[in-house]
Amino acid sequence: MENRNENLQEENKASLNFIEQIIENDIKNGKNESSVHTRFPPEPNGYLHIGHAKSICLNFGIAEKYNGLCNLRFDDTNPTKEEVEYVDSIIEDLKWLGFDWGDRLYFASDYFDQMYNFAIELIKKGKAYVCDLSSEETSALRGTPSVPAQPSPFRDRSIEENIDLFTRMKAGEFPDGSKTLRAKISLDSPNMQMRDPAMYRIRHAHHHRTGNTWCIYPMYDWAHGLEDSIEKITHSLCTLEFENHRPLYNWYLDESEVYRPQQIEFARLNLSYTVMSKRKLLELVQEKLVNGWDDPRMPTISGMRRRGYTPESLRAFSDRIGIAKRNNVIDVAMLEHSVREDLNKRAKRVMAVLNPLKVTIKNYPEGQSEELKAVNNPEDESAGTRLIPFSGEIYIEREDFMEDAPKKFFRLAPGREVRLRYAYFITCEQVLKDESGNITELICTYDPLSKGGKSPDGRKVKGTLHWVDAKQNIEAQVRIYDRLFTIPNPDSNEEKGFKELLNPDSLSIIEKAYIEPSVDGADALSYYQFERLGYFNVDKDSKKGAMVFNKTVGLRDSWGKPKNQ
RNA sequence: UGACCCAUGGUGUAAUUGGCAACACGUCUGUUUUUGGUGCAGAAGAGUCCAGGUUCGAGCCCUGGUGGGUCAACCA
């Protein structure tokens, strides 16, 4: 025990976020017998997104750091919005992220009986009543923060009548919306959450786990605290919008006379150039503004996975952004940095030409070809080498040639010499054009002595270009993604709704890119660096002979976009 | 309008019982380089929303403003 605490102090000397400070203090004071037990409680009504990843890393991370446990618990209290598809996707995403909840997979719906019994107890204490008001009527009587509520005409029903009515609600005697069970707390609390909130509503709906056994379903506030209590959660971490609910969370648990975990709120993640609410993401999916939940432009875990993000990079990102209570918008550049950092160490390098320009090397022996050795990953010697086919006809990137090139343009131009990576030095001798003046082909010469990219006489070239052999290559589809929205904060724009701010150029498809043959048949999700272009991964639509790649993120580029210079 | 919460370089997060603000991303420089990538070295950029107060000393404590967020679903 003492050892553990000392170790903690050692490794955390740097700094603790405010939640860790609270927890370390609790451990020191022996609260909950100095144990830590957290939970990640998603509602299965949509796919997980990068904001959830922050919460997941927090909850599982805290548990791991303090030698505790973290449960996975589905908060499935609303059958009209929840589906097994979402349960499955959430589990898949969590596993992919690399988290483990052992055998502690729970569902709020497993506690429905216990919740019901606690509700009966509350009624018996005179702390809850059945109300016949419609939601509109209830709302009309609720008042405002400065105006007290009008009491419901049913507020003072007898305990016997309440029990009878609630029992019959459960038995299915009443139609949807006709009655609720309400907590009897306050009519004039300045905290609106405390003005006799609903505990149960009637929904004759099929639940994905309990089927038709229930027709009354608990509200979040009533259910969530009990779930935490039943599971003996020590620290119940949630986002800021639940701050006003904490008194209610405490009230329910205290009135039920059960163990009360500590709710702590932190700020949710916002990312620039995207939206982070399940409702908005659902709209994008349903209105087919994107191609499903796992569209690589989506900030969903599944979208980012398909895009080529690694679990490690997402976890590193979560660590980097920190935990606090202040509203934030994280620069998407931070996320991009996290993937580049990870992929730089791991991605196999490969050459691909996305926007091809034919180059004919006129002094290369006609009809001949050869294989040249290339390094798979300069950051990782163990990745080895491979052979790439080369001949007198190749493609280079159109952007790598400029007819009237400025001095700082370190690439190919008439009369200039560059290196073809792992191949030879070539010099541009002639530019071929069609009738309308478009460049169609370059005629170059090569220096046979520069094989492998080294010049025997020690002469230097400024530029090194990637290339692909014109005959021995594969043709692949490459999908290029840009930010989904045109402004940094589409969530809170006053003039336009978020859907009006979608970037029309967020997806562009290159039908025929040329790539060196080694990538043919690679598994879905395999990640590569296309040299000098960026990181790309194999899409699930990919097949041997018909490969499809997604651009994860470009390389940092201090030259910028040459076409704009 | 009432309650609750928040306020530190462009962005995000630190500053351990109050001791002249640190780290990451971004930006810029130089250097290395067969990726205008990576690595390495370095720089600029805030005096901590404002006004008072306590103190030898305040980003940290107190008071009052200002600005922002959340809540007034039978959603979570």
The distance (Å) linking the CA of A280 with the C1' of B75 is 14
Which residues lie across from A285 on neighbouring strands?
Answer: none
Residues A171-194 have pLDDT tens digits of 999 999 999 999 999 999 999 999
Q: What is the pLDDT confidence band of residue A565, given thresholds at 50, 70 and 90?
A: very low
In order of A103, A350, A478, the CA distances from A549 in angstroms are: 37, 13, 5
Q: Which domains does chain A have, with CATH numbers?
A: 33-266 (3.40.50.620), 271-348+476-553 (1.10.1160.10), 357-466 (2.40.240.10)
The distance (Å) linking the CA of A15 with the C1' of B56 is 29
The distance (Å) linking the CA of A185 with the C1' of B72 is 16
Q: What is the pLDDT of residue A8?
A: 37
Residues A360-392 have pLDDT tens digits of 999 999 999 999 999 999 999 999 999 999 999
- Helix, strand, coil percent content, chain A, rounded in steps of 5: 35, 25, 40
Q: What is the pLDDT of residue A14?
A: 65
| CA separation for the pair A391, A485 (Å, rounded) | 43
User: Cβ(A148)–Cβ(A109) under 8 Å?
Assistant: no
- The whole-chain average pLDDT of chain A stands at 95
Which one is catalytic: A39, A184, A195, A278?
A278
Residue A43: which nucleotide is closest by CA–C1'? B76
Residues A421-467 have pLDDT tens digits of 999 999 999 999 999 999 999 999 999 999 999 988 889 999 999 99
Read off the tokens for A438: 């478009």
Q: What is the pLDDT confidence band of residue A6, given thresholds at 50, 70 and 90?
A: very low
Residue A466: which nucleotide is closest by CA–C1'? B35
Residues A242-262 have pLDDT tens digits of 999 999 999 999 999 999 999
| DSSP-assigned letter for residue A401 | B
Q: What is the pLDDT confidence band of residue A561, given thresholds at 50, 70 and 90?
A: very low
A110-124, A304-318, A398-412, A485-499 — which is least confidently predicted? A485-499
Mean pLDDT of A332-350: 98
Residues A484-507 have pLDDT tens digits of 999 999 988 878 899 999 999 999
Burial state string for A275-296 with b = 16 or more CB within 10 A and e = fewer than 16: bbebebbebbbeeeebeebbbb
The distance (Å) linking the CA of A329 with the C1' of B59 is 22
Mean pLDDT of A95-100: 98
| Statement: residue A564 has pLDDT above 60 | no
**Nucleotides on chain B within 7 angstroms of protein Cβ:** 1-8, 10-16, 24-29, 34-39, 68-76
Read off the tokens for A166: 């609630």
Is A73 an active-site residue? no
Q: What is the pLDDT of residue A498?
A: 94
| Statement: residue A225 has pLDDT above 60 | yes
| Statement: residue A11 has pLDDT above 70 | no
Is A421 an active-site residue? no
Is A500 an active-site residue? no
Q: What is the pLDDT of residue A12?
A: 42
- Can you tell me the ipTM of this complex? 0.96
| Statement: residue A2 has pLDDT above 70 | no
Q: What is the pLDDT confidence band of residue A478, given thresholds at 50, 70 and 90?
A: very high
| CA separation for the pair A265, A172 (Å, rounded) | 37
Read off the tokens for A184: 């009897």
Residue A132: which nucleotide is closest by CA–C1'? B74
Q: What is the pLDDT of residue A4?
A: 34
**CA nearest to A535, candidates A546, A527, A543, A524:** A527
| Statement: residue A528 has pLDDT above 60 | yes
Residues A16-50 have pLDDT tens digits of 999 999 999 999 999 999 999 999 999 999 999 99
Residue A247: which nucleotide is closest by CA–C1'? B4
User: Cβ(A433)–Cβ(A439) under 8 Å?
Assistant: yes
